[in-house]
Amino acid sequence: MFGTSAQLEKDRLDTLIDGVFAIVLTLLVLEVKLPEDVMSAAVPQELIRLIPRLAVYAVTFITTALLWATHYYYASLVEGTDFWHITLNLLTLLFVSLLPFSASVMGAHPDSPWGVAVGFLNFALVGLALTFNWMHCIRRRRLVKRAASPQLLRSMLLVAWVYCVFAFGDAALALWSPVLAIELLGAWLVVGFVVLALLQPHVFAAARAPQEHESNDMNLRHDVA
């Protein structure tokens, strides 16, 4: 059946998710700072030393932004929520809230395979939680909008699983070559934004399509007129 188990409004859940992502994106920059006791003459050298932290900040910010945008796309096709949907979203936020810690580890140890792997594993866990969340939403179409075609839902699930495979693989690669893992992540971020751009017209069309009760109301008003 289509969306019959969507018993609760999801506005408060969406607000919580957006708020956590916003806080995390803000906290990331707090790791980029000069030592308080640095002398004026040493500022140029200290700025150079900050380059790895700035790079980690940029990578983590862009990846987190991509994950938020992905969640926004997927959530736009969900018309309600239930216990497991709330639980899986909270699990996602658990891993999202760890991103500032992971970024601090990568920034402090950019040459350490384990330091980079920790951050990339965090990215992977966020993606895995999002994927399980989406699987729950589309199973028997319990939470998704009627206008979303089965092909679109399957395509979005495939995209989510491809991200998970890449992210876990890249985390493992970081243990062998952190530099190569970071380069692959940069390429993947470009691919990720391209995929979102390609999905946009299909997702937006399904998200904006009137639901059954809205269509009935429109038909009723038309008949009355």
Q: Which residues contact 29 (CB under 8 A, 6 or more apart)?
A: 57, 61
Q: Indicate the Cα dihedral angle 55, 61, 63, 67, nearest 10°.
A: 170
Question: Region 2-10: what's the mean pLDDT?
Answer: 61
Chain-wide mean pLDDT for the chain? Answer: 87
Distance CA 128, CA 122 (A): 10
Q: What is the pLDDT of residues 104-134, one digit of tens each?
A: 999 888 888 999 999 999 999 999 999 999 9
Distance CA 106, CA 47 (A): 17
User: What is the pLDDT at residue 151?
Assistant: 94
Q: Indicate the Cα dihedral angle 71, 67, 88, 25, nearest 10°.
A: -110
Q: What confidence tier does 41 reach under pLDDT thresholds 50, 70, 90?
A: low
